[in-house]
A and B are shown apart, each in its own frame.
Chain A
Amino acid sequence: MAVSKELSRFTRDALVAGRSREEIAQALGASGWSGPEVKDALNAWSETPFSPPIPKPQSTVSARDFFFYTLTFGLMAFGAGFLIQIFFVLIERMMGEDLYGYAGDLRSSISVLIVVVPLFLWLTVRDQRALAADPAQYRSAIRRWLTYLALLVTSVILLADLIVVINALLMGALTLTFLLKAGIVAIVTGLIFGYYLGDIRKGDTA
């Protein structure tokens, strides 16, 4: 939650004046500030006896981050969609289903992956190296938002996948083809979910 300028200034002044955090929280609470607002205002300052109080590092936003991370996450989503599409066609072919125009679909999807995957990997490796060199980049607000967005989208897909499988089971429409397709969706989205969850945890400890 963003802390208002007045609240931040008051908290800083109170800490400079030697007030304890409990006293400041009590005073703010009595003045109508909510618990989370008070907590955020106090958490913005480092708990060291040093005076004046030291601000904690804040999230950063930059146009470069927007370009870099939107491109990386966009490529990931785009590539994952086409990866799943290739596996769908391969599964259908494996199960002997007659498909019209499958070869064209496969070639289009392969073309997308050949371009998207190396670029995504290059951007990801570049990002990981930059993070290793300067962990402060974990504080990029855009990076965190997009990572959480990726987690949200993959969670929704995983849940929807499970719902669709249970629904097909209850409707008596569960076939091996269906199950394999649901499985590949779960594997691809699960791997992406796991990757970004690990990334968030790494960022939290950095």
Chain B
Amino acid sequence: MNKLYLGILICLVAVAVVGGLLVAGGPGYARMEKEDRARGDHLHELGRYYACTVDGQERVQKGCSGMAQMPAAPAPTQEAEYLFARTGETAFEVCTSFKTDWAKSSGYYGSDIYFDGQRGCIRYKRAALDGDWVPQ
């Protein structure tokens, strides 16, 4: 009887490990998630950079100190493309492609990043009140 209890426990452990790996993904997937996190963080940095520089150097708004230079993409995401686009007179977006659904499904970035499939964009618009660029 003892062997049966121990056997069932081992089966439960096997189910938990296999199920956990299927849900969370293996080491390769974890590495891609880590890259996506770095990519998402860099997207935020780029959004802040463009908010400070999009109107030229004369623009001074809160949080723009030290933002004159474009932040470099962190390893291992240098190969990713970050595309800046003006979407209107008072709006712009910076987009990149994510490798996994982690950034979309984890809720880590809240609603800061807009997703269209694997493509994620951070969007800014100029506030009507004080003219500052704020995330949408």
Q: Is the CB of B12 within 8 A of A106?
A: no
Chain B binding surface, main DSSP class: helix
> Could you pull out 15 A-B pairs where Cβ atoms are within 8 angstroms?
A86-B19, A86-B20, A100-B106, A100-B107, A101-B108, A102-B24, A110-B17, A110-B20, A113-B16, A113-B17, A188-B9, A188-B12, A191-B9, A192-B9, A195-B9
Q: Bin the interface of chain A by size.
A: 20 to 34
Q: Across the interface, name the chain A residue whose C-beta is closest to B107.
A: A100
Residues of A within 8 A of B (CB): 79, 83, 86-87, 89-90, 93, 98, 100-103, 106-107, 109-110, 113-114, 117, 121, 124, 187-188, 191-192, 194-195, 198-199, 202
Chain B contacts for A188, CB-based, 8 A: 9, 12
Q: Is the CB of B24 within 8 A of A103?
A: yes
Q: Does B10 contact A (CB under 8 A)?
A: yes
Q: Is the CB of A93 within 8 A of B23?
A: yes
Question: CA A189 – CA B33 in complex, angstroms?
Answer: 34
Residues of B within 8 A of A (CB): 1-2, 5-6, 8-10, 12-13, 16-17, 19-21, 23-25, 30, 33, 102, 105-108
Q: Across the interface, name the chain A residue whose C-beta is closest to B19.
A: A90
Question: CA A110 – CA B17 in complex, angstroms?
Answer: 6
Q: Is the CB of A90 within 8 A of B23?
A: yes
